[in-house]
Amino acid sequence: MWMTALPLLLSCAGSPATDSPRRDPRPIEARGEPAKTVVVIVVDTVSRRMLGPWQKEWDTTPNLDGFYADSTVLADTQSVRGLTSVAVSSISSGVYPRIHGVRNNRDWGSPRTPILSEMFQDAGYTTLGYASNTCQFIDRGIDERVCTWDVEDSDGYTGQAERDQALVTQLSASLQAHPSDEKLFVWLHLINPHDPFIAVQQWYDEFHPDTYTGELEPDNSQQLDQWTIQQHPLTDEDLREIDAVYASQLRETDRQLGDLFAALQDAGRWDDSVVMVTADHGEELGEHDSYFFHGCSAYQPVMQVTTAIRAPGRLPQGQWIDTPVSATDLAPTVADLAGIGWVDYRDGETLVDELDAGSLAERPAYFERALATAGVVSDGHRYILDLNSGFDECKPYDLAGGSFPGDYEELYDHASDSEEYLNLAEQQPEELDKLRKLTCEWVTSDVWISQDADRTAPMVATCKDVLGISADTGGDGGDGGGGCSTVGGLGGALAALLGALLGLSRRR
C-alpha cells in the first residue's frame, strides 16, 4: 500500500510557487551615524578546523587571525545548508530557505526577498558587487559589478585562485577611485578554497615538504567521487595530503584578504567601517564516510563556520563568542551596525545590543539538507530528521543512485562529540523528542517555498503528524510550498502512514 500512497503524496502539489507570501515586517529602527564603508566578504567552503585558531600545525590564516583579534568573532555560526546558492541567499536576506525560495545550486536565482545590496542602495550607498561564484547575487541592487566566474565568462583565468586574485586587484583599485567621503557598500564572494583541490604550490611546499606516496589525487574530482561512493578507507597519509592541499588554497585566500584589508586602509576606509568576513558553509575533508565535498553533509564540518565583524566604535574588538548563531542573523546584524536599520521581514535577529553587552542568548539555529531533511542546533546538540525521499541534490551519491549514509533521525551531543560521529538518538530519547518537536514546529510554522513544491510535502506531512496537527485543506502554514492543498485533504492517514513507515526505523 505504501508504495502507491507515497507517490500520491508527492504529486499532490500544483504548479511551483513563484512568489513568497507577504509577511509582516519585522523592522529595526535606524540608529546612529551611518557607517561610511560596509564590506561583506563571503569566502566559499571554509573548513573551520583549518583556520588559524583551530589549526595548530600550519600557519594557514595569519591575516584573518589578525582580523579576528580586532573583531567580534562569532565562532559557531551555523549555515542553513551546505550548498552555496541556498546558504548565500540566507546570508544576504536574513531569512531561511523555505521563505527565500532558493533550494539548490541550479536555481540560478537570488532570493525572492530583499537582500543587503538593495537595502544599502536604498539607503544612499554606492554598491559594489564582486564575485567569482554565485554571480546572481550581484545582479540586484548593485551599481558596479565584476564577476570572474568561469561558468559565466572564463576570460582566460586558469583557476580559482587566479579568479579571486583578479577580483581583489580590481576591487582594490576601485576603492581608490571612489571619493573618500562617498558611502560604499561592498559585496565580495571568493570561491577558493573549493574543489577541485588544486594545490597552491608555494604554500603546499611549506606545509607538506614530505613526498606523498599514496594514491589519492585531490585535484581529481572523479576519483574523489568514486572513493566517496565506495567509502574507500583513508590512511593517515591520505588525510594529511588532502589537508595540506586544502590548507594551501586557504593560505592563498588569506594572503588575498590581507591585500584587501591593506587596500581599505590605503583608501582611508578602514577606521569608520563595518567589515564582516564569513563563509557560506564548510567542507568535509574525509571526516564522514570518506566524504570530500559539502552538499550531502549536515554535520559540523560543513554546517559550522566562523564569522568575524570588525566595527570599531560599534562593536567590541577582540571579543570571542562561542554561542551558536544562525547565518540568518548576519544580515540584520550588519544592517543594524551600519545604521540603516531594517524595514522588511526577517527570520534572523540583530545581535548588536547583546554583542555590545558581551554575551548572547542561545537561540535555535535551523537548517536543511535537501527538501526532505531538516534539523536544529540547540541545547548543545544537533538533531537531524532525514526522510530520504530520493530527491537530494547530493554529489556524488546522485551519480550512483544512492544517498548519503545515515539514519532517519540523528542526535549529537557537542559536549562529548564536537565532530558528530556518535548518533545518540536511541541513548537520549527525551532530548531527541524535544528537538524533534522543535524542528517540526519550525517546519510547520510557515509555507515552504520551492520550485519543486511537491518535494516539501513529505516533510510537512510528517511534522504535522509528529505534532498531532489536524490536516486542513487550506494553503497556509507549511502546506507544501505554494500549492499542495491536497496534502491537507489526504488527512492524517497518509501522514500517520509515513510516520509509521519512517519515523521509528533505521533509514538505511
Q: Looking at residue 475, what DSSP letter applies?
A: S
Residues 163 and 91 in one domain: yes
Range of the domain at 218: 37-362
Is 30 part of a structural domain of the chain? no
**Cα(172)–Cα(166) distance, integer angstroms:** 10
Note whether 392 and 369 are within 8 A (CB).
Answer: yes
Quick one: pLDDT at residue 5? 29
Quick one: pLDDT at residue 385? 95
Is 31 part of a structural domain of the chain? no
Q: Where are the beta strands (DSSP E) in 266-313?
A: 273-279, 304-310
Residues 223 and 98 in one domain: yes
3-state secondary structure 214-253: CCCCCCCHHHHHHHHHHCCCCCHHHHHHHHHHHHHHHHHH
Quick one: pLDDT at residue 501? 37
Is 144 part of a structural domain of the chain? yes
Listed residue (253, 306, 280) closest to 81, CA to CA: 280
Residue 78 C-beta-side C-alpha neighbours within 13 Å = 25
Quick one: pLDDT at residue 56? 87
pLDDT 10s digits, 419-454: 999 999 999 999 999 999 999 999 999 887 766 656
* Count of domains observed in the chain: 2
Residues 179 and 113 in one domain: yes
Is 302 part of a structural domain of the chain? yes
Is 258 part of a structural domain of the chain? yes
Quick check: helix, strand or coil at residue 471?
coil
Residues 260 and 278 in one domain: yes
Q: Grid coordinates standing for 365?
A: 539555529
- What φ, ψ does residue 28 adopt, rounded to 5°? -120, 125
Quick check: helix, strand or coil at residue 110?
coil
Quick one: pLDDT at residue 500? 38
End-to-end CA gap in the chain? 20
Q: Which of 345, 362, 379 is the last residue of a domain?
A: 362
Quick check: helix, strand or coil at residue 75?
strand
Is 424 part of a structural domain of the chain? yes
Spans in the chain with pLDDT lower than 50:
1-18, 390, 473-508
3-state secondary structure 409-450: EEEEECCCCCCCCCCCCCCCHHHHHHHHHHHHHHHCCCCCCC
Q: Grid coordinates standing for 141?
A: 541592487
Q: What angle do CA 423, 425, 430 make, to 5 degrees?
A: 140
Helices (H) and strands (E) counted in the chain, each on its own, are 15, 13
**Cα(396)–Cα(21) distance, integer angstroms:** 34
Quick one: pLDDT at residue 506? 27
